[in-house]
Amino acid sequence: MNLILRELTKQDEAAFLKGMEDWKGEDLTWYTFEWKPGMSHEEHLQILENAKDANKIPPNRVPSSMLYAFVNGEIVGRLNIRHSLNAYLLERGGHIGYAVSPRHRQKGYASEIFRQGLQYCQKLGIEKLLITCADHNVPSWRIIEKFGGALENRIFDDKKNEFVRRYWIDLADAKGHPFSAV
């Protein structure tokens, strides 16, 4: 698969804006957390860069990296990696969150984004990774389990009125894990 998961660059403004079109009618946080209408691309890139530095984010946030999945120059999805966990993320959110645009689903992109994201987490030094997803999101928890996710428990999220699955993946020893193969 020719999917490349990486941070945005100065050259990606057109691809980023075009990719946003795939999310019309959806919650925009499935595509971006930081971009706002009228924001310049340079400002957006600076916010994303600052998000990785604990000294440049609010005290209630953790350092994070936003990566976008490109196929033939087009953005098909994104992955956000939280470098550490706070109390909220330990319950709901975990280390990573990923999404594939509606028109690019059912093509294997989510699995490849997830696989490359696990490799990125290893490079960050994350040894034990928490991933959560809604209990009803069967495609997501199947991907998590495919890559070695061990279900710790299911909890009820009062805010969203739904059950959440909490999975752990041990990244310390990648030998034999499906994400370690390129």
Q: Where are the domains of the chain?
A: 3-170
Q: What is the rounded distance in angstroms from the CA atom of residue 130 to the CA atom of residue 151?
A: 10
Does residue 177 or residue 47 have the better pLDDT? 47
Q: 3-state secondary structure string, the chain?
A: CCEEEECCCHHHHHHHHHHHHCCCCCCHHHCCCCCCCCCCHHHHHHHHHHCCCHHHCCCCCCCEEEEEEEECCEEEEEEEEECCCCHHHHHCCECEEEEECHHHCCCCHHHHHHHHHHHHHHHHCCCEEEEEEECCCHHHHHHHHHCCCEEEEEEEECCCCEEEEEEEEECCCCCCCCCCCC
pTM: 0.92
Predicted local distance difference test score (pLDDT) of residue 182: 38
- With tokens 């990719």, the residue in question is 19
Please say whether the dihedral angle defined by the alpha carbons of residues 38, 41, 42 and 44, taken in this order, is positive or negative: positive
Given the candidates 3.40.50.720, 3.30.450.40, 3.20.20.70, 3.40.630.30, the CATH classification of the domain at 3-170 is 3.40.630.30
In terms of Cβ atoms closer than 10 Å to its own Cβ (0-12, 13-18, 19+), residue 160 is exposed
Please say whether the dihedral angle defined by the alpha carbons of residues 106, 152, 91 and 45, taken in this order, is positive or negative: negative
Asked if 109 and 77 count as a contact pair (C-beta separation under 8 A), the reply is: yes
Contacts of 176 (CB under 8 A, 6+ apart): none
pLDDT tens digits along 124-168: 999 999 999 999 999 999 999 999 999 999 999 999 899 999 999
Q: What is the rounded distance in angstroms from the CA atom of residue 79 to the CA atom of residue 97?
A: 6
pLDDT tens digits along 5-53: 999 999 999 999 999 999 998 888 899 999 999 999 999 999 999 999 9
Q: What is the rounded distance in angstroms from the CA atom of residue 3 to the CA atom of residue 71?
A: 5
pLDDT tens digits along 82-135: 999 999 999 889 999 999 999 999 999 999 999 999 999 999 999 999 999 999
